[in-house]
């Protein structure tokens, strides 16, 4: 009897372990071949792009910029608007109040061929506020700079592609506004849903500028460390369970075009880190949404600290990621 009970316990443990592994495999199995080994030589275009990214980040992350430092937040907003206008875009605003102060989301739009009234929509966004107590160079001037440069790189698609592309800059992603009614991307996503815009993909570029090849430089929420490398030299594509198809198709495209280390996965929103950006707000509207990130607190020692300054951001690697995302968006805009 005792022997039979022991065998039963072993079988149950094995079944649970197999189910757990199967679930992890489902969440982390991604198409395409991940890049391994040294990066290819940086191109002249990527070098020039890295310099542009560096200038944007230095301007945006001069000091803390959020509702508590309202004048600095306004300077950043005006810089984004002026830079986009200089590219020939008509710059849009979505204004609302937070703690009694007027704040705004900013966007520009690349329209499809034929100026269709009801096209499918791709949203590419980043939050431009910094957390209290930090100038926010990596979190998230790196993401803002990336979206600014994507606006420049993709401008030639206006009137050419099959989808509308919205490039958006969100206010109030950071606490105390995160996941509240004052969160900028929640306002933006709800407005798209009210207009019945057919959003087929949302990309949130979130803290994308810090990389390390040192063993042990990367950690994960349990149990994902069983599946992924311990070196923080990759860019991650992350979504909640309902966005698995988009995560997979995005990784397939990125890996086919770009020689840069990648991981990807989906998980329930309660897993630490999975919902920690503006993609969360779009998922609340039923849109598939992906965060593109260096994983922030799971790698970056200066996360949400005064030391998150521009010198910490590896703009050459950010340039490679931006070029990869340009190719992804071009693929998806067809």
What would the mean pLDDT of 199-214 be, rounded to a whole number? Answer: 99
Q: What is the pLDDT of residue 119?
A: 96
Determine contact, residues 211/262, Cβ cutoff 8 Å.
no
- Cα gap 150→106, rounded to integer Å: 15
Per-residue pLDDT band at 7 (split at 50, 70, 90) = low
The domain made up of 25-332 has a fold known as Aminopeptidase (3.40.630)
Whether pLDDT at 11 is above 50: no
159 pLDDT tier (thresholds 50, 70, 90): very high
Alpha carbon distance 290, 277 (integer Å): 9
Using alpha carbons, select from 179, 206, 145, 171 the residue that is nearest to residue 281: 179
101-110 sheet: strands from edge to edge: 92-98, 101-110, 164-170, 120-127, 198-206, 289-293, 235-240, 262-267
CA distance 320 to 136: 21
Task: Give the residue-averaged pLDDT of 258-271.
Answer: 97
At 98-156, the pLDDT tens digits run 999 999 999 999 999 987 788 999 999 999 999 999 999 999 999 999 999 999 999 99
SS (H, E, C) the chain: CHHHHHHHHHHHHHHHHHHHHHHHHHHHCCCCCCCCCCCCCCCHHHHHHHHHHHHHHHHHCCCCCECCEHHHHHHHHHHHHHHHHHCCCCCEEEEEEECCEEEEEEEEEECCHHHCCCCEEEEEEEECCCCCCCCCHHHHHHHHHHHHHHHHHHHHHCCCCCCEEEEEEECCCCCCCCCCCCCHHHHHHHHHHHCCCEEEEEEEEECCCCCCCCCCCCCCCCCHHHCCCCCCCCEEEEEEHHHHHHHHHHHHHHHHHCCCCEEEEEECCCCCCCCCCCHHHHHCCCCCEEEEECCHHHCCCCCCCCCCCHHHCCHHHHHHHHHHHHHHHHHHCC
- Give the pLDDT of residue 117: 80
pLDDT for 112 equals 96
Q: Is the pLDDT of residue 17 over 90?
A: no
> Contact at 8 Å (CB) between 161 and 334?
yes
The β-bridge relationship of strands 235-240 and 289-293 is antiparallel
Lowest mean pLDDT among 115-119, 192-196, 274-278: 115-119
* CA proximity to 248, closest of 294, 202, 290, 298: 290
The predicted pLDDT at position 289 comes to 99
Q: Say what the pLDDT of residue 238 is.
A: 98
Beta-bridge mates of residue 165: 110, 122
Chain mean pLDDT for the chain: 94
Please answer whether residues 147 and 105 qualify as being in contact, where contact means their C-beta atoms are separated by less than 8 angstroms: no
pLDDT exceeding 90 applies to what percent of the chain? 88
Give me the pLDDT at residue 3, please: 62
pLDDT of residue 114: 87
CA 267/CA 174 separation, integer angstroms: 22
pLDDT tens for each residue of 49-73: 999 999 999 999 999 999 999 999 9
Distance CA 242, CA 263 (A): 18
Q: Which two tokens stand for residue 7?
A: 């065998």
- Give mean pLDDT, residues 22-46: 92
User: What does the pLDDT average to over 159-174?
Assistant: 97
Please compute the mean of the pLDDT values over residues 79-93 and round it to a whole number. Answer: 99
Q: Are 232 and 282 in contact (CB under 8 A)?
A: no
């Amino acid at each position: 009897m005792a022997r039979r009970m022991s065998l039963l316990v072993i079988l149950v443990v094995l079944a649970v372990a197999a189910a757990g592994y199967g679930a992890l495999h489902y969440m982390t199995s991604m198409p395409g071949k991940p890049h391994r080994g040294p990066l290819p030589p940086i191109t002249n275009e990527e070098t020039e792009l890295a310099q542009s990214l560096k200038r944007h980040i230095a301007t945006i992350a001069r000091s803390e910029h959020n509702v508590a430092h309202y004048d600095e937040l306004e300077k950043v907003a005006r810089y984004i608007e002026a830079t986009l206008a200089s590219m020939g875009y008509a710059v849009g605003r979505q204004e609302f109040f937070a703690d009694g102060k007027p704040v705004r989301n900013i966007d520009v739009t690349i329209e499809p061929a034929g100026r269709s009234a009801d096209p499918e929509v791709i949203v590419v966004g980043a939050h431009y506020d910094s957390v209290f107590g930090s100038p926010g160079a990596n979190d998230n001037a790196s993401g803002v700079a990336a979206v600014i440069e994507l606006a420049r790189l993709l401008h030639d698609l206006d009137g050419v592609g099959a989808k509308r592309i919205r490039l958006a800059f969100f206010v109030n992603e950071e606490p105390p506004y995160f996941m509240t009614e004052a969160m900028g991307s929640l306002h933006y996503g709800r407005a798209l849903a009210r207009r019945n815009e057919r959003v087929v993909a949302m990309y949130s570029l979130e803290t994308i500028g810090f990389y390390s090849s040192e063993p042990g430089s990367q950690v994960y929420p349990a149990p994902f460390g069983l599946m992924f490398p311990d070196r923080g030299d990759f860019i991650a594509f992350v979504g909640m369970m309902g966005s698995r198809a988009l995560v997979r198709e995005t990784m397939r495209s990125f890996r086919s075009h770009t020689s840069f280390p990648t991981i990807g996965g989906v998980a329930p929103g309660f897993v630490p880190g999975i919902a920690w950006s503006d993609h969360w707000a779009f998922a609340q509207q039923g849109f598939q949404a992906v965060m593109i990130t260096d994983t922030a607190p799971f790698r970056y020692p200066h996360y949400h600290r005064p030391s998150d300054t521009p010198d910490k951001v590896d703009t050459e690697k950010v340039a490679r990621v931006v070029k990869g995302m340009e190719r992804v968006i071009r693929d998806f805009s067809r």
